[in-house]
Structure 1
Amino acid sequence: MYAHENGQHYGLLADLECGTALWLRWAGPDVELVVLPDCPVAGRGPDREGCCLFAGHATQHTWEEPHPMEDPCTS
């Protein structure tokens, strides 16, 4: 079983005003539109790449290396 098969899921629909985005949020058959603030965390490198997820997300930041168990393409 993969970690993304249970719990809430999110899908980015559109960037809105500076610092917020429109997301789809679903768990099973229930789906809703939500406006969430952007994740404020930036990477440590010289380019200071920003995270492309929302504030308070439960997984790694988008600029971090994925955990091998989270990649379904490697199984």
Structure 2
Amino acid sequence: MSAHEDGDHYGLLDDLEYGTALWFRWGGTDAELVVLPDCPVAGPGPDREGCCLFADHAEQHTWGDTVEEISCTS
């Protein structure tokens, strides 16, 4: 995710069923495991790769932070 200092932080643990993933969420002194739906937005360009984050995430989609192409599965 984009660099930020406030609010919750997330770490991807595992893909689950199609369209969902298991995330570790922490902020302050609280931490928990959460199942979140995948972000449904497809990227620009001919490959239209999907965003690697969860639905309704803050800030940019994963392709917005980098100039070079990075696969979600690598």
Give the TM interval when normalised to the shorter protein.
Answer: 0.7 to 0.9
2:61 is paired with a residue whose SS is coil
TM-score, normalised relative to structure 1: 0.78
Shift of 1:6: 1.5
Task: Determine if the alignment matches structure 1 residue 41 to structure 2 residue 41.
Answer: yes
Amino acid at match of 1:58: A
How many percent of aligned residue pairs carry the same amino acid? 78
Partner of 2:31: 31
1:5 is paired with a residue whose SS is coil
Higher helix share: 1
Give the length in aligned residue pairs.
64
Report the Cα distance in structure 2 between the residues aligned to 1:18 and 1:61, rounded to whole angstroms: 19
2:34 is paired with a residue whose SS is strand
**4+ long deviations beyond 3 Å:** none
Partner of 2:70: none
Tell me which structure has the larger Cα radius of gyration.
Answer: 1
Residue correspondence of structure 1 range 1-75 to structure 2 within 5 A: 4-65=4-65
TM-score, normalised relative to structure 2: 0.79
